[in-house]
Structure 1
Amino acid sequence: METGKAIAFLLASGQGLLLSLALVVKGLRQERSNLFLGLILYVLALELLNAWGMQVRYHSSPDSIPFWNLQSYLLLPPSVWFFAQLTTTPGYAFRQKDWLFYLPAVVEVLLRFGWSFYRRSTGASLPSLLDNPGWFLVTELLPIFGTAIALWFYGRKLVFFHRSLKRHAFRLSFGLFVRLYSLFCFLLLTTVIWAAGVLLEWPVFAGLEIVLTLSLFAFGYIGYANPAFFTLPALPDVKSSEKPEFLHYDDAKQLERLQTVFRQDALYTQSKLTVDDVAKRLQLPARYVSYLINTRCATNFTHFVNGFRVEAVIRKLNDPAEHHKTLLALALEAGFNSKSTFNQVFKHHTGQAPSHFLLVKK
């Protein structure tokens, strides 16, 4: 029984670490929100790997590698906060100076490695850093409260998402509902168990290990099967509904012009199309074009453009005159710049992969 549990911990933590690495790499290259989701899963995967180490008494082995020193709960509050901002706030940008929020975690890891190295090299019988009240407060208690605050903010943004969609007469599909709330509920559950174990000293960590094992297996499978699952839609910016700086524009007329340049002029076929390009074409301020898309279409610029591109691909798939072209050729003609991007966007908009869509169509 114990051996089986140790194997499950090791496999789930390994899968979680691989997924976190993939998300971090992807986040550094394109979708920045994936970077912070990767950091969140990294901390949780290391927690489960640490549970494996204690299960098999790896920590007490003289040849053990102190991987547990790489873990810092201080990574969680800023990562949850920035993930929530990037997936729920239109136009939100992560700034270089925001990396300073991760400085405490870096300091903690360096101090833990220094403490461990000194103890091993000198053989001195040093107390655990957690025995120090100040260290325990900063590295154990503050991350719990910080993560709770970040989740409260995240939850409010998700409620705002529901209200904004309702205001624009949009229905939230079951698939999107699961994508939005599964991660939030998972983080909320783990934080509650975490707080109960540390603050109330309840014997709940066995339950936390089970939750982490099952969730990392599930997230790992989903991440490999559908990488776009973790790319959540940004919320429409409805705060600017009074548009005080655009009072002289007729929204209905300008929205018709916007849709015309996309539907009739196929502006979406430009692979690197930006909101500035569209604004220049319409001779309108870029901020006003963003306002129209956010409030009148209940989406952001990227999803707005990709919607037309997906429609164009589907339209050509149903056209016998286009059957001699490959799916990739149709995607590139529609404005997509890579096969991977097309696959992710297509599944996000239709709920199924392009290959599955073709099978159903046939």
Structure 2
Amino acid sequence: MAILLKSTMTTWKAVLFLLASGQGLLLSFALIVKGLRNQRPNLFLGLILYIISLELLNAWGMQVRYHHSPDAFPFWTLQSYLVLPPSIWFFTQFRTIPGFLFRRRYWWAYAPAVVEMLVQVGRTLYGRTTGQHLPPLLENPIWFFCTEILPILGTAAAVGWLGYQLTTIAPEKRGRFLSIRPFVKHYVFFGFLLILTVLWTAGVIIDLPIFSGIELLLTLFLFAYGYLGYADSSYFDLRVAPKQKPAEKPSFAHFDDNQQWNRLNRAFEQDALHTQSRLTLEEVADRLQLPTRYISYLINTFHQSNFNHFVNALRVEAVIRKLNDPAEQHKTLLALALEAGFNSKSSFNQTFRAHTGQPPSYYLPKPNKSVGHL
């Protein structure tokens, strides 16, 4: 009975490995094609998924002893862990550094992985052609270090860089309203990679028996998360604004910064200046009888942003506030946007997503979505 139960568990595990790896490969190829066309970050996400999918397919092959079949297709030779560090690194660069450009010379980062795969394919073809049994490459300490240890170190560095970049995301840059979904979206992927790196290190370097219990769970999780990214290309947007240089205070020593900042806030809160379409810095300065450069300094110092970002944040807040006001439920999103000071549908949608990380429809009242869509 115990033997039958163990055999059944092994069979089910092999089936789940095969299904998960198949889904992951399909998704990775879709992301790679999407990335090659116009969304380059998806290319590197696809490469990450591709390596993990082949790893799970390799686990399936070991479960069913596929590798020992003379007619087996040697898919395991088309995998290299050396793909992971540069893929995570470039994915981070695209998603956290505005205006990052991928140059052709960066492809050289994948040269070690290509060399490893070519060597493995060549050895496999030579062994099958001559019938000779070649010793495993991993028995060579230099090869083991280059293909097993270096990828772990490189992945740890890339994941660390992703974590560091995430610390530059300031809540103020996304507006004053925070929801749990953008937070999860930004940090779960990093958490997954961090856990995967730690477990990978424990399995290879410390030689702990951890792969059988966690490989399926972590890989299926990544497939599910990757599918979200493919279904919504903006899902992985880590909206990090460019780092600004510290503002230098203009030579207006006779002004009290706290007092003038309170005046500025009252002007917007009481008179709703932000609801004026195409409001300019000069108009605000003229109303408060303050120099334009000093107002820019105040916003940069107290709000850590520029004038446009400050005004748009107030407008987005006004729309969200009205979406939850029963007295405003009869109005469309476009009407609310125009009342808040936006001058067009496209600028409203773009600005709203930039500040909140979500489309306007996400903030519609859940019980009664009576507000019209754009």
CA shift for structure 1 position 111 = 1.1
The match for 2:359 is 350
8 Å CA contact retained: 1:90, 1:237: no
- Partner residue in 1 for 2:243: 237
Structure 1 window deviating more from structure 2 (31-40 vs 2-11): it is 31-40
Deviation at 1:34, TM superposition (A): 1.8
Segments of 4+ in structure 1 off by > 6 A? 298-301, 317-320, 344-347, 353-357
In structure 2, what residue type is equivalent to 1:8?
A: L
Of residues 70, 74, 82, the one that matches 1:74 is 82
**Counterpart of 2:202?**
196
Q: TM-score, normalised by structure 2?
A: 0.68
2:220 is aligned to: 214
1:123 aligned partner, one-letter code: G
Among candidates 155, 161, 180, match of residue 147 of structure 1: 155
Q: Tell me, in whole angstroms, the C-alpha distance in 1 between the residues paired with 2:166 and 2:356.
A: 22
Counterpart position of 2:93: 85
- How far the C-alpha of 1:360 sits from its partner, in A, is 1.9
Partner of residue 129, structure 1? 137
The partner residue of 1:41 within 36, 45, 49 is 49
Counterpart in 2 of 1:174? 180
CA apart distance, 1:157: 1.4
Letter in 1 for 2:220: L
Offset of residue 119 of structure 1: 0.7
1:311-333 CA-to-partner distances (Å, cap 9, x unmatched) read: 8xx99x9768x99xxxxxxxxx8
- Which secondary structure state, in structure 2, belongs to the residue aligned with residue 44 of structure 1? helix
C-alpha spacing 1:39/1:19, structure 2 compared with 1 (3 Å): same
Within 2, Cα distance between the matches of 1:214 and 1:127? Answer: 33
* TM-aligned CA deviation for residue 86 of structure 1: 1.6
User: Counterpart of 1:280?
Assistant: none
Aligned alpha-carbon RMSD (Å): 4.9
Residue pair 1:76, 1:143 contacting (<8 A) in 2 also: yes
Report if the CA contact (8 A) 1:6-1:55 is conserved. yes
Cα distance per residue 1:121-158 (max 9 Å; x no partner): 11111111111111111111000011111111111111
Larger Rg: 2
Look up the SS of the partner of 1:111 in the other structure. helix
Decide whether aligned partners of structure 1 residues 116 and 168 sit closer, same or farther in structure 2, where only a CA change above 3 A counts: closer
The aligned counterpart of 1:187 is 193
Kindly state the Cα deviation for residue 40 of structure 1 after the two structures are TM-superposed.
1.1
Distance, in Å, in 1 between the alignment partners of 2:187 and 2:307 is 19
Q: CA separation of 1:353/1:173 partners in 2, compared to 1, >3 Å: closer, same or farther?
A: closer
Equivalent position of 1:273 in the other structure: none
Candidates 344, 359, 370, aligned match of 1:361: 370
Q: Is the 8 A contact 1:23 1:38 kept in 2?
A: yes
Structure 2, unmatched stretches of 5+, are 1-8, 252-260, 262-272, 280-295, 324-328, 336-343
Q: Distance in 2 between matches of 1:16 and 1:143?
A: 21
**2:117, 2:60 → 1: CA distance?**
20
Q: Take 1:356 and 1:109, find their aligned partners in 2: how far apart are those partners?
A: 53
TM-score (norm 1): 0.70
SS of 1:59 mapped into structure 2: helix
Q: Deviations over 1:155-201 (max 9, x none)?
A: 1111222xx33588745421111111111111111111111111011
Is the CA contact 1:129–1:135 (under 8 Å) kept in the aligned structure 2? yes
Query: Displacement of 1:8 after TM fit?
Result: 0.9
Q: Do structure 1's residue 16 and structure 2's residue 16 form an aligned pair?
A: no
After the TM superposition, which residues 48-63 of structure 1 pair with which residues of structure 2 at under 5 Å, given as runs? 48-63=56-71
| Equivalent position SS for 2:167 | helix
Change (3 A) 1:168 1:18: closer
Report the residue type matching 1:49 in the other structure: L
Q: Aligned equivalents of 1:153 and 1:65: distance in 2? A: 37
Aligned match of 1:329: none
Percentage of matched positions with identical amino acids: 47
Match of 1:284 in 2: none
Partner of 1:276: none
Is structure 2 residue 101 aligned with structure 1 residue 96?
A: no
For residues 284-332 of structure 1, the C-alpha deviation after alignment (integer angstroms, 9 at most, x for no partner) is xxxx9xxx8xx8548999xx8xx99xx8xx99x9768x99xxxxxxxxx
- Aligned to 1:237, the other structure's residue is in SS state coil
Q: Distance in 1 between matches of 2:137 and 2:357?
A: 46
In structure 1, the residue matched to 2:121 is 113
